[in-house]
Amino acid sequence: MILIVFKYLTPRGFRGLTFFPFVFLMNKEDVLDKVFVNHEKIHLRQQLELLVLPFYAWYVIEFLIRWIMTKDKNVAYRNISFENEAYTNEKDLNYLKSRSFWNFLNYF
């Protein structure tokens, strides 16, 4: 994982963007936020499992489907299986040690 503080690559309203092996951060303080960094590490693992580009295709398709269903971008984002897994487990700093392969499917 390579942490880079560069606010111009981070979408407005987000603290970070993960694109294997990089994590682009909006604020340098976030480098020290263990929960936030763990959330991004979970995304790195998900991207590895799906070989990065299929991860993003799945992410966008799932977001669009959920947005159509809920008519709310924020609700759609939070209900993407990848985000759901990351938010649910971000406080467990040992989660990745016991996480099973393709575990995001349990949050679909």
- Running DSSP on this structure, what letter comes out for residue 75? H
Does residue 98 contact residue 44 with C-beta atoms inside 8 Å?
no
Note the pTM of the prediction, 2 decimals: 0.94
**Can you list the residues of the chain whose pLDDT is less than 70?**
none
Helix runs in the chain, H state only = 34-49, 53-70, 73-78, 81-89, 95-98
The residue with tokens 């263990």 is 34
Instruction: Please report the pLDDT score of residue 45 as a whole number.
Output: 98
Instruction: Please report the pLDDT score of residue 13 as a whole number.
Output: 87
Helices vs strands, H then E, count in the chain: 5, 3
